[in-house]
Amino acid sequence: MNQAVILAGGQGKRMKAPIPKPMFKVLGEPMLEWVLSACEAAELSRTCVVTGYESNQIEAYLGDRCRTVFQAERLGTGHAVMQTIPFLSEDTSGSTLVLCGDAPFIDSRTIADSLLRHTKEKNAVTVITATVEQPFGYGRILRTDSGIAGIVEEKDATDEQRKITEINSGCYWFRTADLIQLLGKITNDNKQQEYYLTDTIAIALQDGLRAGAFCSKNPNVVLGANDRKGLLKLNTAARMAVLEQHMDNGVGFCCTDGIIIERHVEIGAGTEILPGTIIRGNSRIGCNCTIGPNCIIENTVIGDNSVLNSVQAYDSVMDSDVKIGPFVHIRPGSHIASNTLIGDFVEIKNSEIGANTAISHLAYVGDSNVGEYVNIGCGCATVNFDGIKKSRCEIGDHAFIGCNTNLIAPVSLGTYAYTAAGTTVTADVPDYALAIDRGTLSIRDGYSKKKFET
């Protein structure tokens, strides 16, 4: 069995927040999530996360998704892996991938390819490396003619060694049985008085075991963040990589300012995304849409040929050819059928809106089923909350709801039902009926004239 251990005990002091470093987000997801999902995508059998600083936050995030082990004192990466020995001992048949929870760009391809090399070369340990222009701060790979001799940390390196540009990504494959043996031999005899996991390489070689290095084609696998500026760099790299992928798929961007698209979002060809648009979670947008400027789309599906301008939409579904905005709030649980028009300052919540319906301005539709070809006039409200419970409104096909109508839920309106402007509807309205609720209009001649004469 091949498995993973993710080191996530670190604090990230320079972030200046009581959050474990691997929980800081890159493109909307904790760095730990990027690492864990790469392991899942590489189909490793199981994973154990080493927690330390503010461990409860990581445990709460992970739930039952994988194992965790708590490292009470942070005495180095080698010490962190020692905490997993009970986990490792449960199955020593295969290999264990050790990764850092704060280097988010490890990818499943690198994991799979390095495992192939590790297995083929019959290595006890295979280090995943990358060659970078700025090796400062990273462990340097010491090469020999026949392979690798070890890893030296920045602080322990000589000036000559510091010039080496091949660096340790912090990810390694170990034969699990060998890892357990090697961990027993690490000491903290170095400048930082830490138990370095990297010492396992030289120890393996001394013990006559094989050690190798796999240089990843993806130099981003090494990237991590030590402070907020570094985190911004990771976000920028991830953001641009996602946008470029969408461009390759035929999505248009005339300007990428303020556009943030999380990595699981799908967008069809021919769609244009305009500035200030944030698309999150599992959102899926069809072909030939125009989204933006200034939209937030979260876990929402939008059909082809739709136009959204200054819309915030959460956990909802819109079919094709909808036109929504500007300044519209679509709240969770809404389904808006095709050809629907939703105009400025409209809020829809937990409602079904039928095809070809128009809700053009200043309306609230909550907890309602609205049919097809309905017209909801300006200023209408579904009065769905009586202070204790929420109730639903049913509005039949072709109904016409006059301006400033209040529908006091629960209430139902039939097909072709009409309400007169200003009506408060407190009883069901049958098909083809008109609900009208008006006092007698009285016109008082000269009313204001008298007022101003005194």
Report, in Å, the least distance between residue 264 CB and ligand UD1: 24
Tokens matching residue 53: 């600083």
Site for ligand UD1 in 132-151 (CB under 6 A): 138-139, 151
CB of 9 to Ca ion, least distance (A): 12
The contact mask relative to ligand UD1 for 95-134 (x = CB under 6 A, - = no) is -----xxxx-------------------------------
Is residue 377 at the binding interface for ligand UD1, with CB under 6 A as the rule? Answer: no
What DSSP assignment string belongs to 247-270?
Answer: HHTT-B-S--TT-EE-TT-EE-TT
Within the chain, how many helices (H) and strands (E) appear?
10, 40
In the list 29, 33, 107, 153, the residue contacting ligand UD1 (rule: CB under 6 A) is 153
**Residue type for position 436:** I
In terms of CB distance, is 13 or 450 closer to ligand UD1? 13
x/- track of binding to ligand UD1 for residues 198-227 (CB under 6 A): x-------------------------x---
Given the residues 79, 335, 361, 398, select the one marked as catalytic.
Answer: 361
Shortest reach from residue 120's CB to ligand UD1, in Å: 24
Handedness of CA 293, 295, 301, 307 (dihedral sign): negative
Binding string to Ca ion for residues 213 to 232, with x set by CB under 5 A, is what? Answer: -----------x--------
Asked whether the bond before 410 is cis by omega within 30 degrees of 0, the reply is: yes
In degrees and rounded to multiples of 5, residue 119 shows phi and psi of -75, -45
How far apart are alpha carbons 398 and 375 in whole angstroms?
7
Return the structure tokens found at 377: 């006039």
Start-to-end CA distance of the chain, whole Å, equals 95
**Do 195 and 82 touch, CB atoms closer than 8 A?**
yes
The footprint of Ca ion on this chain (CB under 5 A) covers a number of residues equal to 1
Phi-psi region of 35 (alpha: psi -120 to 50; beta: other; left: phi over 0): alpha
Q: Which residues contact 212 (CB under 8 A, 6 or more apart)?
A: 117, 118, 121, 123, 125, 126, 127, 147, 148
Q: Which of residues 170-189 bind ligand UD1 (CB under 6 A)?
A: 170
Query: How many C-beta neighbours within 10 Å does residue 198 have?
Result: 24
Closer of 53 and 364 to ligand UD1 (Cβ)? 53
Q: From the list ligand UD1, Ca ion, none, which binds 75 (C-beta under 5 to 8 Å, kind-based)?
A: ligand UD1
Shortest gap between Cβ of 113 and ligand UD1 (angstroms)? 19
The rounded distance, in Å, linking the Cα atoms of 423 and 368 is 18
**Euclidean distance between CA atoms 324 and 348, whole angstroms:** 11
Q: Does 334 participate in binding ligand UD1 (rule CB under 6 A)?
A: no
Out of 168, 310, 351, 404, the residue judged to bind ligand UD1 by CB under 6 A: 168
Shortest reach from residue 137's CB to Ca ion, in Å: 7
Nearer residue to ligand UD1 within complex by CB, 6 or 267: 6
Is 398 catalytic? The answer is no
User: Is residue 58 a contact residue for ligand UD1 (CB under 6 A)?
Assistant: no
∠ CA 99-134-53, nearest 5°, is 35
Residues 224-243 that bind ligand UD1 (CB under 6 A): 224
Q: Does 5 bind ligand UD1 (CB under 6 A)?
A: no
Q: Is the CB of 195 or the CB of 253 nearer to ligand UD1?
A: 195
What residues line the site for Ca ion (CB under 5 A)?
224
What is the set of active-site residues?
361
What residues line the site for ligand UD1 (CB under 6 A)?
7-10, 21-22, 50, 52, 71, 74-77, 79-80, 100-103, 138-139, 151, 153, 167-170, 196-198, 224
